[in-house]
A and B are shown apart, each in its own frame.
Chain A
Amino acid sequence: MPVTDVQKDLDALMMTITAEFDASAERLWQIWSDPRQLERWWGPPSHPATVTDHDLSPGGRVAYYMTSPEGQQYHGWWKVEEVEPPTRLRFEDGFADDQGNPNPELPTSVATVTLSESDGRTTMAIESRFSSREQMEQTIEMGAEQGMKEALGQIDALLAS
């Protein structure tokens, strides 16, 4: 496992995961900057990603969709905020409608990627932060397992009884 550290800040709604790879920073930058490589890891194996737009410059846009085993497509986008090859990338990450247009009603998060190379190995830190508490709540509603949603919804009720 290349993951070396995970930090969570429950107040800032932020998670930082750090991993070390046996590769140069240039090589790791490619997995972000080459859309064909990006689509091999962005989506889970059950929902592979297809990248349709890929402009990794400040203000640029990346558009993709993930395809479910049933053939349903889930569209997403990045709005690129900062790019400093091969050490830093910052982007907002959100959902889109079936046509790929950003859906402002769905939650977004901001990811900051930093790469630092030392002795031929590269440490990649990814900081991911929900834009607001409402957005975090929405993320739970959208993606969490039914069981988890029920459990979370029952804690207060159980304690009140």
Chain B
Amino acid sequence: MVVDAKAAEERQTDLLFKALGDPTRRDILGRARDGELSVSALARLYPVSLAAVQKHVATLERAGLVTKQRRGRETVVHAETEALHRARAALDRLESAWRGRIDRIDKILDQPENGDQQCL
């Protein structure tokens, strides 16, 4: 439904603004865009705990700005490029639209077949 799509998009926008609203997270994102970095290497750059850096990375990940990958004992952070981010946003909207349609189809199928005319 359009309402669901809108709500989902607003949630995603909130996550995006929240993620970008913190200088440390912006710095992490900027560095990740220059090249992949491990979480532990990032933690050495800031006067905060490893757990705090992990939390920052998780916030960026929820907003779709970075992805994490395990490599051996390390967790590596990749920045999602602007183009990929935009593609994801567009495909997310397509998904919302089709989820709404599929729900409506399911409701139509639940109704008796000859009731198709009356229930708009």
Contacts and interface: CB of A to CB of B under 8 A. Distances in A.
Q: Is the interface of B mostly helix, strand, loop or mixed?
A: helix
Q: Which of B6, B106, B109 has the most CB of A within 10 A?
A: B109
Given A139-B93, A148-B12, A155 B85 contact: yes
A136 B1 contact: no
A40 B1 contact: no
Q: Which of B6, B29, B116 has the most CB of A within 10 A?
A: B116
Interface residues of B, number: 47
A56 B90 CA distance: 28
Given A22-B109, A145-B13, A148-B9, A44 B91 contact: no
A152 B85 contact: yes
B99 A151 contact: no
B98 interface: yes
27 contacts: A1-B103, A3-B102, A8-B88, A10-B87, A13-B87, A13-B91, A15-B98, A17-B95, A17-B99, A17-B102, A23-B109, A28-B109, A34-B116, A40-B104, A41-B108, A44-B1, A44-B2, A44-B5, A45-B1, A128-B94, A137-B86, A137-B90, A144-B9, A144-B93, A151-B17, A152-B85, A159-B33
6 nearest A-B pairs in the assembled complex, by CB-CB distance: A44-B2, A41-B104, A147-B13, A151-B16, A10-B87, A15-B91
Given A17-B102, A23-B109, A40-B120, 5 more contacts: A31-B105, A145-B10, A145-B13, A148-B9, A148-B12
